[in-house]
Structure 1
């Protein structure tokens, strides 16, 4: 095998709680993460001499050594002493710096793809342990589905998959710095926290309405303070029929849960599309 196609799925947060700031400077989190149908598409091809080449359909995305897909390829080559390199062609559909783990999903896809391309036969757990060294979201993106993430996001407890749920995602044209959001977060000032145990029960019961009501992300207060428009987007989603709405990650993407895909489509047609990406998707 000299060429392989692989998909990279985005994620949303159903909950996101920050418990405390750790001695190492990171924050201890507890959150429920969910894969969605929105995905990037990658093609991997063998290259001689352990070279790494990355090209992307989105000109704004750097394709140098700072790119997570590049880092993942380099990690795999060095960790497993591979005798060839890889050319990565990345077709982006997940918006950049959106709170949807697009870069981590691409890195996870590279690791999964190279594992198959080179016949390494490494387990999913092996790849997850390796992936966390370059990104806390990468283990979840390798595993996918529905899971509780703890630690800095790398410690996963898989959950029963949620039923297929229609989603409408709204991504403003700007990006949000995760580092800036966390630096402005005062854990002692958090006013409302998610009930993670209750959300797990709603997932087990496949109660979508209760799931929508239980959505909670403690980072919203900080990010909405920096970008007040996001609170209006959240309210607009609700006014247009969303059962519940939440910012994913540190933002700026805000999504709504809808009863049906057609309901999400009707809401999308009514949303203000100025300088925003409006994406209809579903849980996966």
Structure 2
């Protein structure tokens, strides 16, 4: 039986700005998205009918609420495929953590089915399918570093910003993205990221300036409800991070380091009170 294995990488937001609320209820955003080497591993095998989803983590849904189900369904309907698939998700990315774990799994499945069933889809065609699954899916297919606009689906590839030391820490709380956006008051945002200046710093590989100028406007809502996020940011800065930010709508916090020894020391300290702490690099 043919088996395809695909890596599904996490993402962080080096900046996140919300420009306006659209008439359809979605928010217009502008953000810099960056993949890191924390990954889920997706194993795909063809079966006769239907879909079976299994995972090493019991928190991972194995029904139609999982985005990989939606990815399989979209491919089958578009190409009139009457074949089933077995999917195993070896889950390492924290769930509902602002790291696009579910979106990355769905992106990996689209890429895997494209190969398994010899569909011949280009990366851009896969990205066009991905936007119907979730706003982060096209970026997870593209990978690397990108400017995301619109609802996150309009992507511009940026210069590679790889091999940067990153510390991730996810507190054991559940953050609802819908709650965060609903409670975001655009008129109250006093500090916004200078996205285009950040891109210039990245192009110059000026890591220090990138780290110090990162802004995520969603912190205004999430930190107010969950002060532990601010505490983790402070711990990272005190531990030698050049800068620290919440990723997405949270609750994951990341720090950028230029010294691996300081990163490892902060990682050791944070692990004393948090179970999900990861030393990673940008890719």
Question: How many Å apart are 1:202 and its aligned residue?
Answer: 0.7
Write the deviation string for residues 113-153 of structure 1: whole angstroms up to 9, x where unpaired: 00001001101111111110110000000000000000000
Question: How many Å apart are 1:77 and its aligned residue?
Answer: 1.1
Structure 2 residue matching 1:17: 3-state secondary structure: strand
Contact 1:163-1:206 within 8 A present in 2 as well: no
Q: Structure 2: give runs of 5+ residues left out of the alignment.
A: none
Question: TM-score normalised to the size of structure 1?
Answer: 0.97
Partner of 2:250: 251
Distance 2:4 2:269 in 1: 40
Write the deviation string for residues 165-187 of structure 1: whole angstroms up to 9, x where unpaired: 01111101112000000000011
Question: How many Å apart are 1:272 and its aligned residue?
Answer: 5.6
Distance 1:281 1:213 in 2: 19
Stretch deviating more after TM superposition (269-278 or 113-122): 269-278
Distance 1:61 1:163 in 2: 29
Does structure 1 residue 151 correspond to structure 2 residue 150?
Answer: yes
Structure 2 residue matching 1:121: 3-state secondary structure: coil
Contact 1:167-1:261 within 8 A present in 2 as well: no
Q: Structure 1: give runs of 5+ residues left out of the alignment.
A: none
Distance 1:275 1:147 in 2: 30
What is the alpha-carbon root mean square deviation over aligned residues?
1.0
Does structure 1 residue 172 correspond to structure 2 residue 168?
Answer: no
Partner of 1:19: 19
**Counterparts of 1:28-47 in structure 2 under 5 Å?**
28-47=28-47
Residues paired across the two proteins, number? 283
Stretch deviating more after TM superposition (178-187 or 207-216): 207-216
Does structure 1 residue 119 correspond to structure 2 residue 125?
Answer: no
